[in-house]
């Protein structure tokens, strides 16, 4: 994945915006200028939980991206594990029922 694809992913999923994108808004533009945001960071991040504007380094954004991939992979693996266990339980239950039916049929 190249840096442009990474940026697009971060924008979509985490609503990251580049410093340049914020400069067109007056209040944020002033904040960027006053705080000299953008000199040593690549992204501004809107934290919905804290309702704050946060600054994030692009290398940190990479870690967030890969952590997200690992979390999705773990979630998928967990779902598959549960499906496999359910299938095994169903098979075991069916086998037990089959055995009981065979015993009943043999008695008659």
Domain of 57? 3-107
Beta pairing, strands 52-56 & 16-18? unpaired
> Does residue 78 surpass a pLDDT of 80?
yes
Contact 54, 41 (CB under 8 A): no
Residues 5-24 pLDDT 10s: 777 777 777 777 777 776 66
Q: Which residues contact 7 (CB under 8 A, 6 or more apart)?
A: 16, 18
Strands of 52-56's sheet in order across: 16-18, 43-47, 52-56
Q: What is the pTM of this model?
A: 0.41
- For the residues 78-91, what does the mean pLDDT come to? 73
Residues 14-69 pLDDT 10s: 777 777 776 666 776 676 677 666 666 667 777 777 777 777 777 777 788 788 88
Structural domain tally of the chain? 1
């Amino acid at each position: 994945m190249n840096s442009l694809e990474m940026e697009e992913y971060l924008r979509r999923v985490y609503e990251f915006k580049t410093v340049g994108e914020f400069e067109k808004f007056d209040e944020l533009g002033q904040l960027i200028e006053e705080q000299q945001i953008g000199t040593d960071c690549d992204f501004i991040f809107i934290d919905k939980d804290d309702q704050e504007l946060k600054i994030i380094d692009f290398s940190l954004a990479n870690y967030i991206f890969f952590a997200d991939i690992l979390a999705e992979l773990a979630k998928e693996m967990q779902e598959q594990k549960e499906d496999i266990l359910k299938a095994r339980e169903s098979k075991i239950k069916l086998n037990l029922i089959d055995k009981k039916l065979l015993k009943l049929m043999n008695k008659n």
